[in-house]
Structure 1
């Protein structure tokens, strides 16, 4: 999964291909410690790789008016607690809904966003639709540890998100990951939606959705490019704290963490 992060004021959307080392010091307000215990879901996933998934839970289930083609999105206990069923949330900017991507429906729109020069600078997915499709398919056909979504605001698709298990991602090799850490990647699609604080509003809403619907998740994490000052600022304004600087192959990132324990005071 290529490197990514939030496109906010400047309209830039960073990368997140974790394969560097963490440098800097942790915030002493909420110390990060390494927990080497394998998550229960990962143990269960290994045990069930013989394909014990009900055929009744195939893609386009009648339970979903808008559903991801990824069958894992319909598993009773998937790795991200059924992102597609989290439902809409009311924000100061309107009613917002994460809708799992369907390539047949959404590829042209997402590819157009990826070809915006401000976005391409960080996501590095400019080019024909096949480039974007090659980025989406491993997530949609994978084990459910990353779910690509459209962000729909008042009925209009306006952003692209990846909600992923940071503790099961290569990123976990480069920071003191904890079981159920959940990561966020974001880009704001339209130029008109950038530079007016919308990134902060949506980051706070999505982080709240994660914490509301993933009771075992104690932290939401992100890794915006340090050069993308508006993005880092948006995460800070959305209740994330700066934890450390992380050296990745394509960027030096700011490891941002939003703690469940501090949710009521931020």
Structure 2
């Protein structure tokens, strides 16, 4: 039997050590657990096991992709959001903890069995979560990307959420004249010249920026929302850390009452909202 060499890792421990030098120990564990279909605890308990050649090759591939910048959720195909795991691929944004603030606020302002509209649903994490968290909620989700809607429907089916979907841009996708008790959206809001876009190059650009000034899609949603809300209904929008004042101004100019902004877990403005008066 050939003795393993330092430059030819064979055991789980050796592969992890080699990968950790490139991408860090935590992500190395996450990716190897994914490749093997095991838990991280298993890796620790069985670190002297030898990987099969095909397992080693698969692990080396995902490590190299991660080292080149591919986000871990795109490599594992899933991301946790509000206590549930959602399937993701590079046609949708990766769900982030800051968006959970939108869910928390929606749960506070909704009444029983509301009609809910999620504009630009992406992975469906918002629509599916609200459908599961609000008893009797009737949830509609839209997106202009058919690939994104495929992911959203996959997540709804996997998690047992009853939602309906429409393809199209913002309110144009929704049946004429239909109104809702709650409208939510996490639209593209990053300014096209924002340097942060460089670190998000693997995610769909059309879901990150409107290509104008970061407020264009927010304007479109706000301008069309009043006619789509029932009396007393709420509009909740996620936006950038520095866009709170501008979004509140847009909401107030459109006639919304109770306009306010909630901060995210980093103490940044993140979700602004307004209510259609009775």
Larger radius of gyration: 2
Using the size of structure 2 for normalisation, the TM-score is: 0.33
Q: Which is helix-richer, 1 or 2?
A: 2
Q: Higher relative contact order by CA 8 Å / sep ≥ 6: 1 or 2? A: 1
Using the size of structure 1 for normalisation, the TM-score is: 0.34
